[in-house]
Amino acid sequence: MRIALFITCVNDLAFPATGIAVTRILRRLGHTVDFPADQTCCGQMHANTGYRAEAMPMVRNYVDVFDSYDAIVAPSGSCTAMIRDQYPRLHAPATSVAARTYELSELLVDVLGVTDVGAEFPETVTYHPTCHGLRMLRLGDRPLTLLRQVRGIQLVELGDAEECCGFGGTFALKNPDVSTAMLTDKCARVRDTGARVLAAADNSCLAHIGGGLDRHRSGVRAVHYAEILAETGATS
C-alpha cells in the first residue's frame, strides 16, 4: 500500500514533531511513507472564513499531489474533515482522493487494523476529542483505543470532553472574548483531571488550549496524540 503523509501547513511550520511521530509509527509497523514535497495547505482556513475562491487553488493542488496514493494520512481531525466533508462539494474530481484521506487513528485502526502500536509513555494523560474529528469524521473512541494500548500510560477522563475549546480557526481572533471564555472552561476541566499531559488530534486546537495552559503556567503539556504513540521508552 502506498501511504502518503499530508503534514498540514500548521504542523509543517510549528509542529514538525507530530509529523516525525507519524512517520516513526508507520515505519515501526513496517509501512513505507511518502512525503510528496509539492503539498501545501488544505485550504480550510480560507474556505471556512468566507474565501472559498481563494481556497480552490489549494484544493486542486491537493488532488494533483495526492491522487496517485492508496491512502493519505493527516495528523489533524479538522484538515481531514475539510478534505472529506467539503472537497467533494467544492471540486468533483476530489471525491475519490477525499475518500482515501484518513485521520491517523482511522488509518491505524480501520485501514491497517492495528490498535497496539508498541508505544510506551509513563505519564498521566487526558484526551480532548476535537470537534471536527468528533462530529464530522466520527472518530469515536479510535484515538483512545490506541492510547489505551500504550504501556505505562495512565489515562484520566476529561470532564465536558465533547465541548468545543473555543478555537474555531479565525473565530479565536474574530471573537476573542467568547473564545477566551470557552478556553478558560476547557483549561479548568483539563486541570481538574490532574493530568500532566493533554492529548488531542489537532495541533491548532492544542495551540489554543496549550497556549492558555502555558499562559497560566499550569505545568500541563499539550501534545498531539501521535507523539505519545511514537514513544517507545527507548532514548532516540
Partner 1 sequence: MSHPVAPATGGGRIRTPLPFPTAAKPAVADTQLRANLHRATRTIRAKRARVVDEVPDWEALRDAGSAIKADVQRRLPELLEQFEASVTAAGATVHWARDAAEACRIVVELTRATGADEVVKVKSMATQEIELNEALEAAGIAAYETDLAELIVQLGEDTPSHILVPAIHYNRAQIREIFERRMADAPSDLSDEPAALAEAARAHLRRRFLSARVAVSGANFAVADTGTLVVVESEGNGRMCLTLPETLISVVGVEKLLPTFTDLEVFLQLLPRSSTGERMNPYTSMWTGVTPGDGPQDVHVVLVDNGRSAVLADPVGRPALSCIRCSACLNVCPVYERAGGHAYGSVYPGPIGAILSPQLTGVADNASLPYASTLCGACYDVCPVKINIPEILVHLRQQAPHPPAERATMRVLSWVMRSPRRWAAALRLARAGAGPLGAYRERRTGARTLRRLPWPASAWTRSRDVPLPAPQTFREWWGKQ
- Please spell the DSSP secondary structure of 122-190, one letter per residue: -SEEEE---HIIIIIS--TTHHHHHHHTSBT-EEEPPTTTTS--S-TTTHHHHSHHHHHHHHHHHHHHH
From candidates 1, 2, 29, 54, binder to partner 1 by CB under 8 A = 54
- Is residue 88 a contact point for partner 1 (CB under 8 A)? no
Applying CB under 8 A, does 17 fall inside the site for partner 1? yes
The distance of closest approach from Cβ of residue 170 to partner 1 in the complex, given in angstroms and rounded to an integer, is 8
For partner 1, the closer CB: 11 or 80: 11
Element holding 72 (H helix, E strand): strand 71-74
Nearer to partner 1, 47 or 158 (CB): 47
Q: Which helix (H) or strand (E) holds 19?
A: helix 16-28
Contact call for residue 124 and partner 1 (CB under 8 A):
no
12 contacts partner 1 (rule: CB under 8 A): yes
**Which CB, 31 or 155, lies closer to partner 1?**
31
What's the length of the chain?
236
Nearest to 157 by CA among 165, 149, 148, 166: 148
**Position 159 contacts partner 1 (CB under 8 A):** no
User: Cell numbers 476529542 correspond to what residue?
Assistant: 129
Q: Quick one: 56 or 71, whose CB is closer to partner 1?
A: 56
Instruction: State which residue, 10 or 146, has the beta carbon closest to partner 1.
Output: 10
Using CB under 8 A, pick the residue from 4, 7, 98, 226 that binds partner 1.
7
Q: Answer for the pair 112, 29: CB distance below 8 angstroms, yes or no.
A: yes
Q: At what angle do helices 203-215 and 176-193 cross, to 10 degrees?
A: 80
Binding partner 1 (rule: CB under 8 A), the pick from 28, 31, 61, 191 is 61
Minimum separation from the CB atom of position 194 to partner 1 (A)? 22
Is 26 a binder of partner 1 (CB under 8 A)?
Answer: no
